[in-house]
Amino acid sequence: MQNQARIRAPREHREIVGQALTKQPPAKRMMRQYDLVDRVRKYNPKVNEELLNRAYVYAMRAHGEQKRASGDPYFSHPLEVAAILTDLKLDDATIAAALLHDTIEDTETTRAEIERLFGKDIATLVEGLTKLKRLDLVTREAKQAENLRKLLLAIADDVRVLLVKLADRLHNMRTISHMPPEKRRRIAEETIDIYAPLAARMGMYEMREELEDLSFRELNPDAWEVVNERLEAVAERDSDLIGQIEQQLAKKLSDRGIAARVSGRRKPAYSVWRKMERKAVGFEQLSDIFGFRVIVKTVAECYQALGIVHTSWRVVPGRFKDYVSNPKQNDYRSIHTTVIGPSNQRVELQLRTEEMHEIAEYGIAAHALYKDGIGSPTEMLSRESNAYAWLRRTIELLAEGSNPEEFLEHTKLELFHDQVFCFTPKGKLIALPRNGTGIDFAYAVHTDIGNHAVGCKINGKIAPLVSTLQNGDEVEILTSNAQAAPPTAWESIVVTGKARAAIRRATRVAVRMQYAGLGRRLVERLCFRAKLVYSDERLTGALPRLARASIDDVFAAVGRGEMKAADVARAMYPDYKEERVGGTPAEPPKQESGWFGLKKAKALMFKVPEGPAGTTSSNEPIPIRGINSDLPVRFAPNGGAVPGDRIVGIMTPGEAITIYPIQSPALADFEDAPGRWLDVRWDVDDNARRFPARIAVQSVNEPGSLAQIAQVIAEHDGNIDNIRMERKSPDFTDLTIDLEVYDLKHLTSIIAQLRAKPVVAGAERVNG
């Protein structure tokens, strides 16, 4: 294991950490070529001086007269990024890439030119650090997510992209005071939400602490200043006590033959502030502002030192964690304990070896990545670092087709670093974020187990899957093949990105299967009516003519209304001619037609009498195409349908035609009666009328909750027809609300706004 230099801010920056934001670090001379080469030569005598000189000169010329917001030459930024990476003792190619990392994005330089001048390796690194330009995306979050996706995929190919990006963000945060206020806040939020947790996940705690401190100072300057002033005052007041504890610890260990290095350190301001918020306590109530590190030579000495500490001072119950026996996913290993030390002062201790300390401070950068003859950095790191292996698995999961907003949400969830450790019955360790549930545990074991989970045992006792897990719990997941897909409500319960992505994916698959099932019935029904022989083999042979990869793709397209059943029949039987419902041949329609060639006409719109829930509230016709009957048309009695739903008509001879959304479970009652199914669709252009829908809301039992729910619906232009209430527990009431909305988007918006209310525990659409 090579020794790694500490990640330190420039001295000018360190001197102003405790000062007001308005004060700026003193100006300093920009680093020269020979300065950079000398920094690399200190840890790499075989430095490729010619490569670094070429990269230095090229980047300086490419950026030319560009200036930073501070007025400094723009080239000073990539130069400082390279300097940060020399503190990590990185290879020549990474230092060169740091010098060039903004050239493709901010100058006329192309990837091809970088590859021609500096080789494919460096060109790939620079391209991985280049943001996507001209994104045709509406929201800033979507653009942010797509750039993050590109970055993470590049990191999966080469870890050095991550190290350069973190150094780039660190220097930007050190100089953020020159940016406009709105941009400063946006960058700080992104840093504390994504880049600081990413550094922590990679075990780079020192870099994480500085990123958090700089972000905290920007996002909440008053709190940052107050906490730092308190910490400085406590440090000055207790300076003698800190020295006393260090001396006593070192002496007790030395008397037992253990040569240990003991050092006390003050906790970072952001860590203290977050603990105050999480535990809802004041600064004066915190008793563990200082921590002490005991660094020994061997693992055996870690446990020997632990025994000495525990027999010398009383242990604080519940404050012992052994990350040597159970390392964190980011390779962090230490023993944590808290004792009542001298002067009855709580003392937090971390016991570790020198090697553990290297990894604890610098994470993946502490691994010997660039040994000659061993392979690429990524191959080397994949073998040595659990943290990087976790990152690559996470990236593979996140890259599976979710939209940009989902990707950003899942990434933030996966980067949370507060963890609990649980075990399977066979003793396998599963790490979950704090507040992880049995559902998260099931998906962490395997996606199929999560999809089929129906219950769990926690420490041998039956418990709900939504139970929050604690450190050391043994969890057994109970599964059933009868559960084909997880309940969609789980999505709002789980806390891991993997579980949330899997639930959404399973839901999409289940909906697709519903579409495919409906499409198959429509195609088979048409073939039966047209006296054509249907078979999967014949349809498989027709796939090229339909431009679909599988017969399931064809059926799903028919079910969604993207393809006509008649088109499928024509692909299988080229001589097939589309017929009207009545069976007489029809010429190709000259006007806009429905799915079976029915002409669009006012005659297809029928008056609906006023009636109970499920019919329209006025005497207006229902705008539906695809019906050739004098029967009245009505909506499904339990839930209705709204424009945007894929709909089906079910005919009751002599009575009426009922319109159902395709996801309605009531359609299962008609599977054995294909002759009653009608292919219909909405005839709505500029819709200014409302349609019936039903939602189920679980509200918290507290004064004013119903008023808040009604207010949300009213504020978003929904109209309540009826409310039914049922109290199933002392804490919650189930509401069934019949309302009128304009379309599916309108309904979805109202449900989303309801879910955001603290008095609402859950809100879902109901389809009868």
Residue 315's DSSP bridge partners are: 339
Q: Which two tokens stand for residue 646?
A: 């894929």
Where do the H-state alpha helices sit in 158-267? Answer: 160-174, 181-190, 196-201, 205-219, 221-237, 239-255
Q: Which two tokens stand for residue 758?
A: 């603290």
Q: Please state, in angstroms and rounded to a whole number, the distance separating the CA atoms of residues 432 and 62.
A: 46
* Among the listed residues 291, 297, 288, the one whose alpha carbon sits nearest the alpha carbon of residue 357: 297
Tokens (6 digits) for 29: 């001379």
User: How far apart (Å, rounded) are the C-alpha atoms in residues 424 and 473?
Assistant: 9
Dmax (CA) of the chain:
104
Angle at 539 between CA 533 and CA 543, to 5 degrees: 155
Pair 430, 440: CB distance under 8 Å: no
Tokens standing for 76? 């000073």
d(CA 331, CA 390): 10
Q: Which is nearest to 752 in space by CA: 614, 563, 760, 273? A: 760
**Of 48, 54, 11, residue with least CA distance to 33:** 54
Catalytic residues: 105-106
User: For 614, phi and psi rounded to 5 degrees?
Assistant: 110, -20
| One-letter amino acid of 91 | D
d(CA 642, CA 491): 24
Question: Are the CB atoms for 347 and 245 separated by under 8 Å?
Answer: yes
- CA 440 centroid distance within chain: 14
Cβ 552 vs Cβ 515: under 8 Å:
no
Q: For residue 629, which of 611, 648, 656, 590 has the smallest C-alpha distance?
A: 656
